[in-house]
Structure 1
Amino acid sequence: MTVLTEFLPESKYFSLTPLADGVWAALSIPGTGSWSNAGIIDIGDQTIIFDAFATPTAADDLRIAAEKLTGRQATIVLNSHYHLDHVNGDQVFKDVPIISTKLTREQIAIQQPKFIEIFKDNAGLLDQTKVEIEQEKNPEKRQELEDLLGEYSMIIKDTERFKLTLPTITFEDEITLNGARISANFITYGGGHTSSDSFLYLPKEQIIFLADLMHIGYHADIRQGNVDHWLDILKKIKNLKIKKVVSGHGTIGTAKVLDDMIDYLYAIKQISIDWIRSGGTIENVDQIDVPEKYTSYGAPSIFYYNIKSLLEKKK
């Protein structure tokens, strides 16, 4: 039996939102070391963790919450892609199967040790971020830096616990996890946000956990990805029956947010084209005005990183 809604476990790293019987979104609290959204799914005889946060400490709470919600320990962990903020908590679940695509596993093996070393050799990182906060006058950018300072601080605090933890099971296109109550499809349509992105789809419940293929209220980072492939993936996902969408960063939405995400990607593509046509350069992209539609989005610096990335790829 799953826990009643009014008895949801609490954590300073994330908040839990029930989506259906046995399905919860674990939404990151910015600046606490979770740094991305996750999910807990009780399929009836097994408990799935979708993504595992950026720090072991936040992942500890995720594991405890899953056990309290489902009455059993986590039995499967799914990695959507290789980025540290989604997989660095894997080490808390090293005693259970961890599933990803073959390419994501390869990228974790290459990239995670680099991320770990960056934070272990962190001389000046926190001090520099504090200086940037003091100098920043824009309230949205200042908030972004304050959140980053919190994430960095928690990651650095946890560095002694860091140990490369690789997925133990890989798949090519799709793997179905059939439980006594819920069937969950772990699917990849290729790479968009990164070289390989996977999502979790619950067809009966019409719920989808899209990880960083979806950002709601945040600028989506395209630097390690391919915008055209990302657009193709989202258009393909639109063919699925969907009522609720859990983003990798931001909130929970309906199927409409797929169109919003598609619009955002088209927008940054067009802005980069228009900028070059008007004589703009990579060096002065900070002169571009963020479209009014996106001025309230979190992580505003990502907008400019995105334009620079698109321009560099056109060279």
Structure 2
Amino acid sequence: MTVSTEFSSKYFSLISLAEGVWAALSIPGTGSWSNAGIIDMGDQTIIFDAFATPTAAQDLRIAAEKLTGRQATIVLNSHYHLDHVSGNQVFQDVPIMSTKLTREQIAIQQPRLIEIFKNNPEYLDQVKAELEQEESYQKRQELEDLLGEYSMILKDTERFKLTLPTITFEDTITLNGARMYAEFTTYGGGHTCSDSFLYLPKEQVIFLADLMHIGYHADFRQGNVDQWINILERVKKLKIKTIVSGHGGIGTAEELDKMIDYLNTLKQISVDWVQHEGTIENIDEIDIPKRYASYGAPSIFHYNIKSLLEKGI
């Protein structure tokens, strides 16, 4: 893996993973808000996920054209969350693909969320106020990053245009190119109701989107922990050298076990809390385990515990 010097962006860093394969790692607080990918198939160019804002996505499109010598030919949406699909409009002249469920949720959720941001500009003041009071380094960093992401989303609200996937698939679709082939696959929902990933069998590279977080707390409030674990257990059966996370860095196959351990650990913490007569109201008393203490987005930890307790674990 090497840092690509062929294109520079203030929204993401380009990492070369194999010939014709790049990870676009989000620079926190800039409006990208999640990781993406660029794959040169030899005669086609795949974009995996499209960032949180059109501004960041425009740089992604330009980067793909400079790296591959052609315009993007297809965009893949891993799931419906705003930070992965709000850049779709930059690619509205090319096919966009997702599962049927993901398409349905983008249609419902994206306009609603954009309206919330548009009608509540005071979010920025709220985050600034919290930042002034916060003493924890990790939480301060989280708030600073959120302030940057929210600022960019608010800046782009007037130009947002709902751009839905034009092609939907079930299970797996193989994308064939002159140089390589790729498999766009869903095993169902774990992080959301429907999560897809991109696997390059020959290169043994996998873009797992938010099914994988490396160095960040993973949010499962809108998902199902047990299904998520099952998905990752199935992914483990693939030959993998390199994993690109949805948030955080790049890792190897061992990150799958770490992610599974994270999910199981939070489940067990929730079970223990109930057994010791803990309540939702006092979950802030639960300490984040030391091995996750340095993870980004620490507020997600307690949101996750609350979600598990509300769902009855």
What is the TM-score of this pair, normalised by structure 1?
A: 0.98
Kindly, what percent of the aligned residue pairs are identical?
78
Alpha carbons 1:84, 1:112 under 8 Å: kept: yes
Shift of 1:160: 1.2
Alpha carbons 1:245, 1:255 under 8 Å: kept: yes
Shift of 1:122: 2.0
Q: Which moved more, 1:252-261 or 1:118-127?
A: 118-127
Shift of 1:81: 0.0
SS in structure 2 opposite 1:215?
strand
1:1-315 paired onto structure 2 within 5 Å: 7-314=5-312
Q: Give the direction of change, closer, same or farther, for the CA distance of 1:202–1:265 in structure 2 (3 Å limit).
A: same
Q: What residue identity is the alignment partner of 1:212? A: D
How many residues are matched? 312
* Structure-2 separation of matches of 1:6 and 1:213: 25
SS in structure 2 opposite 1:220?
coil
Q: What residue identity is the alignment partner of 2:128? A: K
* Structure-1 separation of matches of 2:115 and 2:139: 26
Q: Give the direction of change, closer, same or farther, for the CA distance of 1:5–1:83 in structure 2 (3 Å limit).
A: closer
* Structure-2 separation of matches of 1:90 and 1:6: 24
Alpha carbons 1:33, 1:152 under 8 Å: kept: yes
* Structure-2 separation of matches of 1:5 and 1:27: 10
SS in structure 2 opposite 1:298?
coil
Shift of 1:77: 0.1
Alpha carbons 1:122, 1:156 under 8 Å: kept: no
Alpha carbons 1:36, 1:53 under 8 Å: kept: yes
* Structure-1 separation of matches of 2:89 and 2:113: 15
* Structure-1 separation of matches of 2:4 and 2:141: 31
Q: What residue identity is the alignment partner of 1:153? A: S
SS in structure 2 opposite 1:158?
helix
1:52-83 deviation digits (Å, cap 9, x = unpaired): 00000000000000000000011100000000
Shift of 1:6: 5.7
Unaligned runs of 5+ in 2: none
* Structure-2 separation of matches of 1:123 and 1:187: 38
Q: What residue identity is the alignment partner of 1:199? A: F
Shift of 1:137: 1.0
Q: What residue identity is the alignment partner of 1:208? A: I
SS in structure 1 opposite 2:86?
helix
Alpha carbons 2:15, 2:22 under 8 Å: kept: yes
SS in structure 1 opposite 2:84?
helix
1:248-290 deviation digits (Å, cap 9, x = unpaired): 0000000000000000000000000000111110011000010
Alpha carbons 1:23, 1:42 under 8 Å: kept: yes
* Structure-2 separation of matches of 1:224 and 1:172: 21
* Structure-1 separation of matches of 2:120 and 2:68: 38
SS in structure 2 opposite 1:240?
coil
Shift of 1:119: 1.2
Q: CA RMSD in A?
A: 1.0
Shift of 1:7: 3.9
* Structure-2 separation of matches of 1:187 and 1:48: 14
SS in structure 2 opposite 1:33?
coil
Q: What residue identity is the alignment partner of 1:106? A: E
Shift of 1:104: 0.3
Q: What residue identity is the alignment partner of 2:226? A: D
What is the TM-score of this pair, normalised by structure 2?
A: 0.98
Alpha carbons 2:3, 2:13 under 8 Å: kept: no
Q: What residue identity is the alignment partner of 1:85? A: D
Shift of 1:5: 7.0
Alpha carbons 2:77, 2:96 under 8 Å: kept: yes
